[in-house]
Copies of this chain bind each other. A is one copy, B any other.
Amino acid sequence: MQAAAAAVHRPHLLGACPGAGGAGRARRPSSTVRMALREDGPSVAIVGATGAVGQEFLRVISSRGFPYRSLRLLASERSAGKRLPFEGQEYTVQDLAAPGAFDGVDIALFSAGGGVSRAHAPAAVASGAVVVDNSSAFRMDPEVPLVIPEVNPEAMAHVRLGKGAIVANPNCSTIICLMAATPLHRHAKVVRMVVSTYQAASGAGAAAMEELKLQTQEVLAGKAPTCNIFSQQYAFNIFSHNAPIVENGYNEEEMKMVKETRKIWNDKDVKVTATCIRVPVMRAHAESVNLQFEKPLDEDTAREILRAAEGVTIIDDRASNRFPTPLEVSDKDDVAVGRIRQDLSQDDNKGLDIFVCGDQIRKGAALNAVQIAEMLLK
């Protein structure tokens, strides 16, 4: 998995396009990376350390100077024994199912799928760790806070280091949408939201990113595309998100947006519909979001609100037709918002259309989880 993730890190597959201005906060350049191994930091475990998000956990910890007294890299038995370098040290990946795997761990960052979280998070909690879980396993558990630090930090006010607990990281599409929608919601109250997504390969893991690249090469060479991760051609194509469809006809990805928004906003009445689509992009999602407000909100005020919002960058240059793109936000912390305009189909300034892009692996997963962990240190 690690090799696969590294292989797709070609500059133009993931980086900003030539001539584009810098948007969002870039990862700090390596010259300013602070060594974060220090005695007063917590003991940290990373579960799923060899996956795309696990690897990004390490990059984010390093770039933000997240302090740690010790670091334990955990993965399935299959990856145990693998050696990974990090900040000048070499770590041996350990089997997360081994007895005592979580002994002495203060914070455990999980990103190894819902099954692994369900099986092993309870053991981590029992040994006193705070689990920050990137899977969907506990998100809708009423006892588990579901947190975007810029949006609802109050939901985890009762969670303390040293007392076992789980904090859930929301779904990537929800995080990216709500980073932009929440500041507007606070001002004018969103009553209904219609979302259509443009989702990257990374949401299905490093192997999916590699499959998109391989398929594209095959198709350009006139060959049939290899379909292992997805059931259909992804290169030069888009398709309905591969999550299973539930009884009401929505897929699980869409229902996450519906349900998680209600929980994060603590608003059972907010109406959300979503259509989730995969597009052949590597690691950043885009979302077209139509908002319906209780109170009037004009687009200039909306722009001011978003300009002041933490973790949000505005890219909205109508004259030069420059707006957020997945490539431009790749490897960036901030969610980018543009195409901010009064919705013609709603009266009295009670509607807005916006277009949002965010790095799926970073703010959509690893960064948000590390930010949750940072709140535990305050």
Binding site for B on A (CB under 8 A): 10-13, 17-20, 192-194, 196, 198, 212-213, 216-220, 222-225, 227, 231-233, 235-240, 242, 244-245, 248-251, 258, 271-273, 275, 277, 279-282, 286, 288, 290, 299, 318-321, 323, 325-327, 338-346, 351, 353, 355
Q: Is the CB of A219 within 8 A of B13?
A: yes
Q: Is the CB of A12 within 8 A of B233?
A: yes
Q: Is the CB of A232 within 8 A of B194?
A: no
Contact of A345 (CB < 8 Å), options: B192, B236, B323: B192
> In whole Å, how far is A20's beta carbon from the nearest beta carbon of chain B?
7
Sorted from nearest, which 5 A-B pairs have the closest CB atoms?
Answer: A249-B341, A196-B196, A271-B345, A17-B233, A196-B288
Contact of A346 (CB < 8 Å), options: B238, B271, B288: B271
List chain B residues, Cβ under 8 A from A192.
345
User: Of residues A244, A338, A339, which shows the largest number of chain B Cβ atoms within 10 Å of its Cβ?
Assistant: A339
Q: How far is the CA of A198 from the CA of B340 in the complex (A)?
A: 19
Besides the contacts A198-B277, A251-B321, A273-B343, what 7 more A-B pairs have beta carbons closer than 8 Å?
A: A12-B218, A17-B232, A18-B225, A198-B238, A244-B321, A245-B319, A279-B280
Q: How far is the CA of A309 from the CA of B135 in the complex (A)?
A: 42
List chain B residues, Cβ under 8 A from A245.
318-319, 321
> In whole Å, how far is A282's beta carbon from the nearest beta carbon of chain B?
6
* Chain B, Cβ-Cβ closest to A299: B249
Q: Is the CB of B281 within 8 A of A236?
A: yes
Given A237-B17, A277-B286, does the pair A249, B340 have CB atoms closer than 8 Å?
yes
Q: How far is the CA of A12 from the CA of B272 in the complex (A)?
A: 36
List chain B residues, Cβ under 8 A from A20.
232
* Chain B, Cβ-Cβ closest to A217: B220
Q: How far is the CA of A222 from the CA of B15 in the complex (A)?
A: 11
Given A240-B338, A345-B192, does the pair A232, B325 have CB atoms closer than 8 Å?
yes
> In whole Å, how far is A306's beta carbon from the nearest beta carbon of chain B?
14
List chain B residues, Cβ under 8 A from A355.
240, 275, 277
Q: Is the CB of B327 within 8 A of A233?
A: yes
Contact of A12 (CB < 8 Å), options: B223, B281, B341: B223
List chain B residues, Cβ under 8 A from A217.
220
* Chain B, Cβ-Cβ closest to A241: B321
List chain B residues, Cβ under 8 A from A18.
224-225, 227, 233
> In whole Å, how far is A323's beta carbon from the nearest beta carbon of chain B?
4
A to B CB contacts below 8 Å, 26 in the list: A10-B222, A12-B218, A12-B219, A12-B223, A12-B235, A17-B227, A194-B345, A198-B198, A216-B220, A231-B320, A231-B321, A237-B325, A238-B281, A240-B338, A242-B321, A245-B319, A248-B341, A249-B299, A249-B340, A250-B341, A251-B321, A258-B344, A273-B344, A273-B346, A275-B339, A279-B279
List chain B residues, Cβ under 8 A from A271.
344-346
Q: Is the CB of B239 within 8 A of A272?
A: no
* Chain B, Cβ-Cβ closest to A243: B321
> In whole Å, how far is A351's beta carbon from the nearest beta carbon of chain B?
8
Given A219-B10, A318-B245, A318-B249, does the pair A237, B281 have CB atoms closer than 8 Å?
yes
Q: How far is the CA of A61 from the CA of B281 in the complex (A)?
A: 37
> In whole Å, how far is A171's beta carbon from the nearest beta carbon of chain B?
16
Contact of A277 (CB < 8 Å), options: B12, B275, B288: B288
